[in-house]
Amino acid sequence: MPEGAEIRQAADKLAQVLEGQVVTTVRFDLPRLSRYAKQLRQLLHTNSSTYADRSVRLPSPVIGATTRSQHAINPAYTWETPLKKTCYSRGLAINGYSDNGVSTMPEPLILERQDAVAIIAINDAPYNRMSLEFIDQLEVLIGEIASDDSIRAVVVTAAGMDNFSVGMNLKQLPEGIQRKGSPDALFDQRLRVIGAIEGMRKPWIATLFGFCLGGGLELPLGCHFRLAAAEGAQIGLPEMDLGTVPAWGGSARLSKCIGRDQALDMILRARKISGPEALRIGLVHEVWPLAELKDRAIELAHELAAQPALAVRSMMEVIGSSRECSLEELLQAERRAVTATLGSPDAKEGMMAFLEKRKPVFIQ
C-alpha cells in the first residue's frame, strides 16, 4: 500500500474509533507509521468530529486503538503538537515519547474488548510488575467497568507467557509514598482497588502463571475466579523473605479462601506453590496447560457474560456477602433476588428455552 494511503487509512480507522463506530481493537504497525505522527495527528483532527469521552491507547510496539465510552481518564490534558502530552480529553493517550512524538514506552496496562468481555493485561513483560501507573489506571478503569452495562465479565491477565506478576515494583516504593503522601495512603489505594474488584457485581477472572507473588497473588484473590497453569506456576506471598508481611490484603483474603492453617503455612514459610497444589487446597478453580490458560479464561468469561445479568448480579451480591452475614440474612437476600428476577424477560426466555428444548439467549 502507498505510504500516503496507509497513513490516511490509519487516520480514518482511528477517527471511527473515537466516534464510537468501532467496538473492537484496531492495531497498526508502529515502525511503519512512526514517521507520520504529525500527518496522523492532522488527519485525525480533521476527520474525527467527536473526541469527548473517548480514548486511544498507543502502546509500543503496536498502535492499539480501543473505544470505550467515558474513558477520558484525565480531561485536564489538552492536545499538543506533535503528540507530546497524554491527550485523554481529545481521544489520544500516549505515555513515553521519542523525538518525533511517537510512543517509545508501553502503556502499563492493555485493555481489549471481545463483545461483553473486557480483557485487562498487565503490560510489563516478562515480570509484569504492578507499577504506580498501572494501579492508577486500573483504579479508573474499574470504575468505568462497573458503570458500563455492556461489560458483563472481565479477564485479568498479563503480557507474555512467562509470569503473571511479581507484584509491586519495589523500586517505586519511596516514590509512591511521596506521591500519595504516606505509606497508609499508598497501601489504601491498593486495598481500595482490590476491594472494588471483589465487590463488583460482575465476575472477574484471573490467570495465574509463572511468578504470581505478593500483589501478583493479592489481586487475583480479589477476583471471583482464578485459573492457574498446570506447569511452571509459582504462587505465593513471600514477604517474610523480605522481613515484612503482605500489605494488599493478602493475609486476610488468603485465610478466608483456603483456611487458617493453609494460609499460615504459605505465609510464615514464604512458600510458593504450583498450579495443581493451588487447585488441591482450593486457591484456584481450574488448572490448564499454560498454552491454553488465557484462551480458557476468555472462554469462561464469555460463558459467564452470556448468563442473565440481573440474576448474576443478584447471586454475586448474596454469595459475596456470605462470609459476613448470618444464615437468616442470606436467606432474606436470596428472597430479594428471587423477587427481582421473577417474571423478568430473561426468566421468561429461560423457561421458554427449557420448554422448547433449546439454549436460552438472555438479553438483560
Active-site residue list: 218, 239
Residues 303, 171: Cα–Cα separation, whole Å: 39
CB 289 within 8 A of CB 231: yes
H-helix segments, 269-344: 275-280, 290-305, 309-320, 327-341
Length of the chain (residues): 364
Of all helices (H) and strands (E), which one includes residue 199?
helix 183-199
In the block, cell 505510504 appears at 3
The grid cell for 80 is 499538543
The residue type found at 220 is P
- Cα(236)–Cα(335) distance, integer angstroms: 38
Residue 171 burial by Cβ neighbours in a 10 Å radius (0-12, 13-18, 19+): exposed
Question: Is-contact 311 342, C-beta < 8 A?
Answer: no
| Contact between 157 and 121 (Cβ < 8 Å) | yes
CB 206 within 8 A of CB 192: no
Residues 13/40, Cβ–Cβ less than 8 Å: no
Cα 222 from Cα 175, distance rounded (Å): 25
The β-bridge partners of 204 are: 154
